[in-house]
Amino acid sequence: MAFNGNFMCTSFKKELLYGVHDFDNSSGDTFKIALYTNSASFNAATTSYTTGNEVSGQGYTAGGGTLVNVDPTSSGTTALTDFVDETFSNATITARGALIYNTTPNTTSISVSTPTVVVLDFGADKASTNGDFTIVFPTANASNAIIRIA
Amino acid sequence: MSFPALNIDINPDMKVEVHTTTNRGFTPEEIAERCASKIISISDSANPAIQAQAHAFRQHIVKVLEFYMREAINSDRTTVYNAILDSGNQELAELIRRM
């Protein structure tokens, strides 16, 4: 059981067609990022947030941190959206990866209350001790943004 | 006539970076570097002359960001100093002022 790469959840792609997720900055859904140890096993088939193998420690609360949405935009023929970098301050934690999930989805067409968006693999255990733990999202352009529809 | 499928997936080369610290917060220099990367993105395939100009501009932006971050930190410290002083803890306020 371990992280083995970044995945966009298949359920998320389907949910986009159902209009489950809204990434608007001011009126959109509330997305969170939860951190996990390498004992977690997530992939494209992951459908909802779980507390299993979630990290614990000073500066981290179960469920993770609330992300700030960046308004969706387009570049050429690619639509994209992004999140503001997330920092867990004064934290003593070790994490190998993360889940981004929606805590306020439109549940008209789905049965889960915290549907996942992406699985993120940090590539190695990352640790902070009485310090800051910051997740830096890739450049928000047509080639690198974390969520892109081409 | 068929329509091309929409491609929605994570770029295999996409990298989420994690920056951490031990027994301290990030310095203005570290944050300024991250901030500049959000403001300026320089393509590896750009004309070398334009790349060089862009890198020089980025370094200038980093320095400006560092300066104003320090200004903000010092200004906030003044506010914190006064708040602690008002609460009657002169010794702690003095420690904050000297940071």
Choose the closest CB to B19 out of A8, A129, A134. Answer: A134
In whole angstroms, give the CA distance from residue B76 to residue B82: 10
**Closest of B37, B21, B6 to residue A16, by C-alpha:** B6
Please report the ipTM that was assigned to this predicted complex: 0.90
User: Judging by DSSP bridges, how do beta strands A78-83 and A147-149 pair with one another?
Assistant: antiparallel
In whole angstroms, give the CA distance from residue A19 to residue B84: 49
**Closest of B98, B70, B64 to residue B84, by C-alpha:** B98
In percent, the amount of chain A with pLDDT more than 70 equals 99
| pLDDT for residue B8 | 84
In whole angstroms, give the CA distance from residue A35 to residue B91: 39
Q: How do residues B29-69 score in pLDDT, each as one tens digit?
A: 999 999 999 899 888 888 999 999 999 999 999 999 999 99
* A61-78 CB burial, b ≥16 within 10 A, e <16: eeebbebebbebeeeeee
Choose the closest CB to A144 out of B7, B14, B18. Answer: B14
Across the interface, whether the CB atoms of A138 and B16 are under 8 A apart is answered: yes
pLDDT at residue B4 above 80? no
| Ramachandran angles phi, psi of A93, nearest 5° | -145, 155
| Mean pLDDT in residue range A67-94 | 96
| pLDDT for residue B99 | 84
Q: How do residues B67-78 score in pLDDT, each as one tens digit?
A: 999 999 999 999
Confidence of residue B86 (pLDDT cuts 50, 70, 90): very high
CA B31 to chain centre: 3
Which residues on chain A are in Cβ contact (under 8 Å) with B16? 6, 98, 120, 122, 135-138, 146
Residue of B nearest to A95 (CA): B18
- Torsion angle in degrees (nearest 10) through CA of B89, B92, B95, B99: -110
